[in-house]
Homo-oligomer: A and B are copies of this chain.
């Protein structure tokens, strides 16, 4: 979609940027990870130094407010440094050494040593709802750069000027730190996005967005002569299951907490809880009123998202047996729909409608089997949450949800995704197109690497981290046993 102020990238410009990125990758891949990490620190420092201006611009384009955007920018520069440190530690490169072994069980073993290498140019798509943390130099870009890839970033139409400004700051910072020219660049427009994922030199794609948009990119990539990994984080309805004792003990607190999470960012989080699954028989309308369900919310990110939200809300409302407990149209306040488990299980497509925006569906279940059946009917999810008290027997539910989701929460709320070593942001399709990977946390770097084994190489021809005399103490698995410093 064209923006008056930011012209779309032409096909010729895109090709030139990708070619340049490929040349930058050829340089970057041979630079020690610790040196590359300094480039990411420079980008993080530049973001922090320009925080005020960036946040103001972001607020103009996203309406997300200064508090939230300040936190998000802090998270973004923190993430850059954490991923830089992780790469410098050697951890993502998975160093494994098997010395030659004449007595190996299947027959003599040659000397074989493995480490991971960067894939090449990564195409990264910005998300509308996180103008910093999942956009220009967000998690996908940061993890690709930490891996040693170059990045061509397709800016999101929801914040075109912010994307330009952020990219300019990043490019200047990278240049100042000695990174090769073209290592990071920005392109604009839908056509540029399609050309990016089909360009022969692009070797991986990161995306956060809708199931429809993500599936379109997935299909384009699957049709390439050379298919490449597509790390798409798509739709999720993030169910919250409330067990009986917890509900009896603290229904009001649960409803309040749930609404707080569901309305954050005007319901525009990929981890927004969209399904609240509770024991049948309560006065839900009264509980919702007590939790101030009708309070005014902010503005959605852009008119196109608001249109999509209203259509999606309407689609759920039109199902048989779905009633409206609050709101019911518009994005200015929360819409809460209602159905029974029986109704939903007869029309399970209701469970798949994300309603990206301030809306949620409460489902009343009658007995543990009914809740289990709902869990079994779910598609893949980024998150699934349990609200349960010590006496609640939810072992079976946990078992089912472990098969359905990438992250399980206990008595918490799914919005707010920490960036750490153990984080897992991804889940079975459609939550992710690559459920064995995460787009948040240190493990995200591995998405942009692949292993290479070196067989019988002389010591002086090996990458330094794979040599016997390696002295930095990097962690390696040697003949099956891990040794060396920890990350």
Contact = CB atoms under 8 A, between A and B. Distances in A.
A106 B454 contact: no
A433 interface: yes
A472 interface: no
Interface stretch (A47-55, A75-83, A253-261): A75-83
A449 B379 CA distance: 18
A411 B461 CA distance: 12
A159 interface: no
A482 B482 contact: yes
Contact of A407 (B79, B436, B452): B452
B487 A481 contact: yes
Given A78-B106, A112-B418, A218-B227, A424 B452 contact: yes
Interface string A230-260: 0000000000000000000000000000000
Contacts of A74: 106-107
A455 B412 contact: yes
A422 B114 contact: yes
A402 B114 CA distance: 11
A8 to B, nearest CB: 28
Given A219-B222, A226-B429, A408-B454, A117 B402 contact: yes
A75 B408 contact: no
A113 interface: yes
Contacts of A399: 30
A418 B418 CA distance: 40
B110 A418 contact: yes
A28 interface: no
Given A222-B219, A398-B461, A453 B412 contact: no
A405 interface: yes
Nearest to A219: B222
Interface stretch (A97-105, A170-178, A190-198): A97-105
Contact of A487 (B79, B402, B458, B477): B477
Contacts of A110: 412, 418
Interface string A401-416: 0110111111110000
Interface of A: 29-30, 71, 74-75, 78-79, 81-82, 96-98, 104-107, 109-110, 112-114, 116-117, 119-120, 203, 218-219, 222, 226-229, 379-380, 390, 395, 398-399, 402-403, 405-412, 418-424, 426-430, 433-436, 438, 443, 446-447, 449-458, 461, 475, 477, 479-483, 486-487
Going nearest first, the 9 A-B pairs with the smallest beta carbon separation are: A222-B222, A424-B453, A78-B106, A96-B422, A481-B486, A98-B422, A482-B486, A114-B422, A407-B453
